[in-house]
């Protein structure tokens, strides 16, 4: 990526970023543009360079921050009405590390409210459009970040991936995206979705950029007791087996779009030509991953969204009277109206599902059952990685779908996550990478849209996956 | 499984949401379909399988019992709330 | 509450605030006494988005020590869970507690009566904030949010109001002696939820229970149980049902009243806490903390069994520092009378109403106290003088002084040296004013001896030992 130096000024980098951001206004990529601060920071970096002072590894690099990262620059909304007006006094650990290396946040990106969605249509600020086709979705939940990188508005963008929210929009917009091993990057200051699968990751235009970003952002954070001691910086590229696996159940799925299938086969032969052995794997428990995920994730969502009550910060309802239910006190209404007015429909669905699977009488049948299914999924992956170094897989069964196509049919929307959520349940790393476009003569996609695939590895194999992705793109 | 309007009301109460009639109807239909899908899990045999709640393989993660400066002080925090009085957050009367 | 028509069954849940420096999940001051509202609140306690709990190691250690004070099994594996409810005093919308696997397993508390009350389990959790109510609004203070609590759940082994009081008191003593809490009941350091049900003696099954929440004194526990007994027995007498519900206690009215049934119907939707690592404590770790538990009331009872009356022991046990000081006295002077004498000074002099203020001052050290007891034993001090010296020991200006030096200064040491006494007696007998009395005594009126002793005491300025004086007089007047 372009870093500021004697010949290229940080100000010029930031300015061209701001121009692109302006140019693509209509894509609805951003929730906030950091014009003033960004330019000020750029000038400071240029001054340092002029004075021959030390500057960081990301000096003057413009980047976009997904709007579910707390930031003192602009409101932090997670694209949800209920967080509007929140001027955070705190920055996320991830952003602090990036800024310490000189990176400059030029804008905040749109997402499905609280990252609940696979299309960025569930945003209080409206949907973000696909980088290549305005009639199609950006994917989600990190749709804004993916499109911002795809359209070259920024060098890189942050994202969060709870069930595919980095990899799926990356593949819908033809960029690289990493979902690190659970705990690799601190979650401190990142609005929680489902804590046991939430990870922080990145979008970029190259594998080498991902590598640099990972080496900067990884590591233990005393403010996140689930964060792992740094392994990324100390690990290096090493494949003992030179074997790549493919998941029979995914590849043979009738739901898999033929365009993605052929892109997949292409990469398979490319791996072969590079001397990798391809191993077919069967992971039957994955068939249940999506169901397990849509029990565990809503449960944690319902819990994590309990704190949004209108009392301590952000949106608070003005409607403290309700003739229809006189038994409700103004305080009751402060809670329930703030939440009803502040959450999107999809947020409410997940909160209610979550409260159902946790409620007395249903916990064992749903939440506990799903937690056991999770164990089986983890075991199957562990067995698989005794045989192979990494698994090649589609990210989603289909390329970017039409805006409005699935937004009112939650289950069909959830089914788009079927190939991404198993990775999250197991806490594994995965890298999504571009794999061409739909063909010109495909009448379903008049405007060709990107295709994406992912490489999945055992825990802590993040560096290998990034290198492998670099090898075959 | 089928969920009645009564159950939707109960879930709405647990969720602290006050739902309009039409919204309730829509959610009833959505949740119906979602429950139908997740009930697929009943096919899976989980006999003698231990549950997994977390995937970061660490235990006994704790900190020293020392007072440290925080990332935001009282003034910064209280300033985020809509109404304050006497350094406290003001809310409608708790009955 | 004997000769009762119904048997009463009582189980008690006790919330103990642990005296860590910082809160359970953030590095802010855990002692908000006398501090401004919301001055001990971190962004974590405030439940900003993206904040994660940061477990305090010492809370885990104090929990183990508390377990040791209840002879409880410590579970090497435990974890945290979320208990969900919406309330302005609960910023996260859930309380972090240990529902599925608590850190402390079965244990017991032995009452002074010798009866054992079994502990079902105890778990760590965070406290809630405080609300204050005004006519049209309420105010939220989050200082107390996530103060570490140990919730101790007893088995329903308690069968009377007195026993309920004794259990709470003995549990309080054990927690305070173990050093896990400040034990300040007035400031809510320990709070009791009492579950009470009645049944006919012949019935097997327990009756429906009512839970009286948030009692904060031993007396109110006892009174609340007595009230509930009469309330529930009246219901049962009239063939009515006891409703399972939460009730509140008012010290003013001496009554319990039903609280919002909504709360009773609550479904907490417990869920494993994904933001905290599970605990898996090594045997060594547990053993180290377990052994840090100092002497407990039961140990002191054994220690003083032969030297101090059990009534006096029970009085002293309410004051850990007195029990510890008495133990020191015993250690540097094993004489049982000395220990008993000091114990009585504590219970009858120091703890007397008029001296209560002295409890705030530093106690005289064991050496001074032992010396004082010896001087008293050797009749160098009369018992009145000994008490006087003891009380003076608390005064600023006497702090540095040994018992003897202080007694000398106060001129309270008795003259026991017989040769010295004889001289004084002789001067008195040579004094004409005593002639008549001497004759009367010789002629058999023994009661005048008192007058002569008095004269000698006067001559000795009160320092003579009266009994010794009368002996000498008797000899001389033969």
Q: Of A126-140, B74-88, C378-392, which range is least confident?
A: C378-392
Query: Among all residues of A, which ones are annotated catalytic?
Result: 66, 141, 165
Q: How confident is the model at residue C334 (pLDDT cuts 50, 70, 90)?
A: low
Sort out which chain A residues have CB atoms less than 8 A from B11's CB and list them. 352, 355-356, 359
* Shortest Cα distance, chain C CAs vs residue A312, angstroms: 8
pLDDT for position B4? 87
Q: Who contacts A356 (Cβ-Cβ below 8 Å, separation ≥6)? A: A362, A366, B11, B31, B35
Q: Give, as one character, the DSSP assignment of residue A55.
A: -
Q: At what angle are helices C161-178 and C297-304 packed, to 10 degrees?
A: 90
Mean pLDDT of chain A: 97
Option in A87, A197, A312 nearest B81 (CB): A312
| A387 pLDDT above the threshold of 90 | yes
Distance CA A70, CA A96 (A): 11
What is the three-class DSSP state of A421? helix
Q: Which CATH superfamily is domain A10-217 in?
A: Amidase signature (AS) domain (3.90.1300.10)
Of chain B, the percentage scoring pLDDT greater than 90 comes to 92
pLDDT for position C283? 97
Mean pLDDT of the C341-345 span: 94
Distance CA A184, CA B56 (A): 9
Q: How confident is the model at residue C265 (pLDDT cuts 50, 70, 90)?
A: low
**Is A404 within 8 Å of B27 (Cβ atoms)?**
no
**Is C223 within 8 Å of C229 (Cβ atoms)?**
no
pLDDT for position C332? 81
Q: Does B75 touch chain A (CB under 8 A)?
A: no
Mean pLDDT of the A203-211 span: 98
Option in A86, A294, A426 nearest B34 (CB): A294
Mean pLDDT of the B30-50 span: 95
Mean pLDDT of the B32-54 span: 96
pLDDT for position C341? 94
Domain ranges across chain A: 10-217
- Specify the DSSP element, H or E, that contains C394: none
pLDDT for position C261? 57
State ipTM. Answer: 0.97
pLDDT for position C2? 47
Mean pLDDT of the A303-332 span: 93
First-residue to last-residue Cα distance in chain B: 38
Which candidate in B38, B53, B66 is best for mutational testing of the A interface (most A CBs within 10 A)?
Answer: B38
pLDDT for position C1? 45
Q: Does B65 touch chain C (CB under 8 A)?
A: yes
Q: How confident is the model at residue A326 (pLDDT cuts 50, 70, 90)?
A: confident
Distance CA C15, CA C30 (A): 16
Distance CA A300, CA A304 (A): 6
Across the interface, do C21 and B63 touch by the CB < 8 Å criterion?
A: no
Q: Of A13-17, C238-242, C270-274, which range is least confident?
A: C238-242
Sort out which chain A residues have CB atoms less than 8 A from C126's CB and list them. none
> What pLDDT, in 10s, does the model give residues C369-420?
999 999 998 888 888 889 999 999 999 899 889 999 999 998 888 777 777 8
Strand-strand pairing, A430-437 and A176-179: antiparallel
State the pTM of this model: 0.93
**Is C55 within 8 Å of C22 (Cβ atoms)?**
no
What CATH topology corresponds to C418-476? Arc Repressor Mutant, subunit A (1.10.10)
Backbone φ and ψ for A431, nearest 5 degrees, come out as -120, 125
| Contacting subunits of B (3+ beta carbon pairs below 8 A) | A, C
Across the interface, do C134 and B70 touch by the CB < 8 Å criterion?
A: no
Q: At what angle are helices C161-178 and C218-237 packed, to 10 degrees?
A: 150
Q: Who contacts A247 (Cβ-Cβ below 8 Å, separation ≥6)? A: A281, A282, A283, A286, A391, A393
Distance CA C424, CA A207 (A): 111
Residue C68's DSSP bridge partners are: none
Domain ranges across chain C: 7-288, 297-409, 418-476
Across the interface, do C46 and B77 touch by the CB < 8 Å criterion?
A: yes
Q: Does B60 touch chain C (CB under 8 A)?
A: yes
């Amino acid at each position: 990526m372009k870093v500021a130096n004697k010949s290229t000024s940080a100000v010029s980098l930031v300015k061209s970023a701001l121009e692109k951001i302006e140019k693509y206004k209509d894509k609805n990529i951003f929730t906030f543009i950091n014009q003033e601060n960004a330019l000020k920071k750029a000038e400071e970096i240029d001054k340092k360079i002029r004075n021959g002072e030390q500057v960081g590894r990301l000096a003057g690099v413009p980047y976009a921050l997904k709007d579910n990262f707390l930031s003192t620059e602009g409101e932090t909304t997670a694209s949800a009405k209920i967080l509007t007006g929140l001027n955070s006094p705190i920055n996320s650990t991830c952003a602090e590390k990036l800024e310490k290396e000189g990176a400059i946040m030029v804008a905040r990106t749109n997402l499905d409210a609280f990252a609940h969605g696979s299309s960025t249509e569930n945003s209080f600020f409206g949907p973000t459009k696909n980088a290549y086709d305005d009639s199609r979705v950006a994917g989600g939940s990190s749709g804004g970040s993916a499109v911002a990188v795809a359209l070259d508005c920024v060098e890189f963008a942050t994202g969060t991936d709870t069930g595919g929210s980095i990899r799926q929009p990356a593949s819908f917009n033809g960029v690289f995206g990493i979902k690190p091993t659970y705990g690799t990057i601190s979650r401190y200051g990142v609005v929680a979705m489902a804590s046991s699968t939430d990870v922080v990751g990145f979008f970029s235009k190259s594998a080498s950029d991902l590598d640099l970003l990972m080496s900067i952002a990884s590591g233990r954070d005393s403010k996140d007791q689930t964060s792992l001691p740094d392994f990324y910086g100390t690990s290096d590229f090493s494949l003992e087996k030179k074997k790549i696996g493919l998941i029979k159940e995914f590849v043979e799925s009738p739901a898999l779009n033929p365009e993605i299938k052929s892109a997949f086969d292409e990469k398979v032969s490319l791996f072969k030509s590079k001397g990798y052995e391809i191993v077919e794997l069967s992971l039957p428990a994955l068939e249940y991953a999506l169901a397990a995920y849509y029990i565990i994730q809503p449960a944690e969502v319902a819990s994590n969204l309990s704190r949004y009550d209108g009392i301590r910060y952000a949106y608070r309802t003005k409607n403290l009277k309700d003739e229809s239910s006189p038994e409700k006190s103004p305080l009751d209404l402060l809670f329930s109206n703030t939440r009803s007015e502040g959450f999107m429909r999809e947020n409410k669905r997940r909160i209610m599902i979550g409260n159902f699977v946790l409620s007395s009488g249903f916990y064992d049948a749903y939440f506990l059952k799903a937690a056991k299914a999770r164990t089986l999924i983890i075991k199957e992956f562990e067995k698989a990685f005794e045989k192979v170094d990494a698994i090649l897989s589609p990210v989603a069964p289909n390329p970017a779908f039409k805006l409005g196509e699935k937004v009112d049919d939650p289950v069909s929307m959830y089914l788009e996550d079927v190939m991404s959520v198993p990775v999250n349940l197991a806490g594994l790393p995965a890298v999504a990478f571009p794999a061409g476009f739909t063909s010109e003569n495909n009448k379903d996609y008049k405007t060709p849209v990107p295709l994406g695939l992912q490489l999945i590895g055992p825990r802590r194999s993040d560096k290998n996956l990034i290198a492998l992705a670099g090898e075959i793109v | 499984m089928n969920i009645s309007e009564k159950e939707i009301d109960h879930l709405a109460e647990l969720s602290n949401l006050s739902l309009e009639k039409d919204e309730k109807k829509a959610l009833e239909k959505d949740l119906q379909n979602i429950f139908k899908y997740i009930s697929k899990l009943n096919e899976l045999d989980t006999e003698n399988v231990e549950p997994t709640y977390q995937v970061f393989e660490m235990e006994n993660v704790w900190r020293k019992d020392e007072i440290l400066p925080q990332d935001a002080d009282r003034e910064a925090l209280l300033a985020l709330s809509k109404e304050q009085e006497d350094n406290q957050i003001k809310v409608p009367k708790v009955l | 509450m004997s000769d009762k028509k119904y048997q009463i069954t009582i189980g008690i849940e006790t919330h103990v605030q642990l005296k860590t420096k910082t809160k359970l999940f953030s590095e802010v001051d855990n002692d908000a006494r006398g501090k401004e509202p919301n001055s001990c609140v971190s962004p974590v306690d405030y439940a900003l988005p993206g904040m994660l709990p940061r477990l305090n190691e010492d809370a885990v250690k104090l929990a183990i020590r508390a377990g040791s004070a209840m002879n409880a099994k410590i579970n090497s594996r435990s974890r945290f869970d979320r208990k969900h409810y919406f309330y302005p005093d609960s910023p996260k919308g859930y309380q972090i507690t240990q529902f599925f696997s608590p850190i402390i397993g079965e244990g017991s508390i032995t009452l002074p009566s010798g009866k054992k009350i079994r502990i079902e389990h105890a778990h760590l959790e965070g406290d809630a904030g405080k609300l204050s109510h005004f006519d049209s609004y309420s105010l939220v203070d989050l200082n107390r949010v996530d103060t570490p609590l140990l919730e101790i759940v007893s088995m329903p082994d308690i069968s009377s109001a007195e026993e309920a009081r004794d259990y709470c008191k003995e549990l309080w003593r054990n927690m305070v002696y173990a050093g896990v809490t400040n034990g300040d009941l007035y400031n809510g350091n320990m709070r009791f939820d009492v579950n009470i049900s009645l049944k006919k003696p012949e019935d097997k099954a327990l009756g429906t229970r009512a839970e009286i929440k948030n009692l904060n004194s031993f007396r109110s526990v006892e009174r609340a149980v007595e009230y509930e007994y009469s309330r529930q027995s009246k219901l049962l007498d009239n063939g009515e049902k006891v409703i399972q519900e939460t009730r509140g206690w008012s010290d003013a009215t001496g009554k319990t009243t039903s609280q919002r049934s909504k709360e009773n119907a609550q479904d907490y939707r417990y869920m494993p806490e994904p933001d905290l690592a599970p605990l898996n404590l090594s045997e060594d770790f547990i053993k180290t903390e377990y052994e840090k538990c100092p002497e407990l009331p039961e140990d002191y009872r054994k220690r003083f069994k032969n030297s101090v009356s059990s009534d006096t022991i029970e009085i002293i046990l309410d004051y850990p520092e007195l029990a510890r000081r008495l133990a020191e006295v015993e250690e540097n002077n094993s004489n049982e009378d000395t220990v008993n004498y000091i114990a009585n000074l504590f219970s009858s002099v120091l703890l007397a109403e008029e001296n209560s203020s002295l409890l705030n001052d530093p106690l005289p050290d064991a050496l001074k106290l032992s010396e004082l007891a010896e001087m008293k034993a050797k009749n160098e001090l009369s018992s009145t003088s000994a008490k006087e010296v003891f009380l003076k020991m608390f005064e600023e200006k006497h702090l540095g002084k040994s018992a003897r030096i202080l007694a000398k200064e106060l001129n309270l040491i008795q003259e026991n040296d017989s040769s010295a006494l004889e001289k004084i007696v002789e001067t008195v007998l040579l004094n004409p004013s005593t002639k008549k009395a001497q004759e009367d005594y010789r002629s058999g009126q023994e009661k005048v001896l008192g007058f002569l002793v008095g004269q000698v005491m006067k001559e000795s300025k009160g320092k003579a030992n009266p009994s010794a004086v009368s002996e000498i007089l008797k000899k001389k007047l033969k």
